Amino acid sequence: MEGVGRFYVKSVLSEKPYLRARVQRFFDYIEDPALLASLEKQILDEVRYSVKIMKLLYPQNNYTLNDLVIRNRPLIESPDRRSVFIETPKRALRRRSQFSFAVMDMLKTDAVTKLVFLQEPILERRNAKILKVLGELVKRGLVRSDRLVALKSEAVGDTADIDNSYTLSSWLPASDGSGELRMSPSLMD
């Protein structure tokens, strides 16, 4: 069985032969788009950093980014190319919701914590909670932050883990070194 949406149970109609209930569906929404964009970038950086750290600590486990995280990630700025992407507000909200749930799915947390994430319809609040959980690695003393500053900037700066996967843009103008921009098609969702 797979969930297709979130809802509150208003009343139980019957329990046999199977559970029937009146439900009220609820959807995500955004209060501060600029804050959400900032949180998404921070989360993506932290997830990528965490995966790279886990690869170093436990190379035998083959840690990788979740495919849904890559597919629904926010755009990444690059100095040598400009991404152009027209996204409808409905599609942007859906992508952002899917990104938060994909990151949540990657987190090794208990069921109660995941339930708290699922119940939060305001994306900024959900992402702030996710970012807090991602920061727990350093807080628990498992890794000393002063020793990992250089590693973190290198890990976040190296976009090879996501650049060759999915891209959100339909065209990527890029410089060929002569100052001329060229257009190249890319994969679209």
13-22, 62-71, 107-116, 149-158 — most confident range = 13-22
Q: Is residue 122 situated within a structural domain?
A: yes
Domain residue limits at 142: 27-173
Q: How far apart are CA 44 and CA 99, in angstroms?
A: 9
Q: Is residue 36 situated within a structural domain?
A: yes
Question: In this predicted structure, what is the pLDDT of residue 172?
Answer: 43
Q: Is residue 178 situated within a structural domain?
A: no
Handedness of CA 100, 106, 109, 115 (dihedral sign): positive
pLDDT tens readout for residues 41-67: 999 988 888 888 777 777 788 788 888
Provide the 10 A C-beta neighbour count for residue 138.
Answer: 13
Q: Is residue 1 situated within a structural domain?
A: no
Counted domains in the chain: 1
Residue with tokens 């100052």: 179
Q: Is residue 33 situated within a structural domain?
A: yes
Q: Is residue 92 situated within a structural domain?
A: yes
The widest CA-to-CA distance across the chain, in whole angstroms, is 72
Q: Is residue 52 situated within a structural domain?
A: yes
pLDDT tens readout for residues 67-122: 889 889 888 776 777 767 677 888 889 999 999 988 888 877 788 888 888 888 99
Question: In this predicted structure, what is the pLDDT of residue 144?
Answer: 55
Q: Tokens for 154, please give them.
A: 């290198």
Task: Give the mean pLDDT of the chain.
Answer: 76
Q: Is 56 exposed, middle or buried (0-12, 13-18, 19+ CB in 10 A)?
A: exposed
Measure the CA angle with vertex 71, ends 112 and 158; round to 5°: 100
Q: What predicted TM-score, i.e. pTM, was given to this entire model? A: 0.67
Q: Is residue 188 situated within a structural domain?
A: no
Amino acid at 80: D
Q: Is 103 exposed, middle or buried (0-12, 13-18, 19+ CB in 10 A)?
A: buried
* CB-CB contact of 129 with 109 (8 Å): no
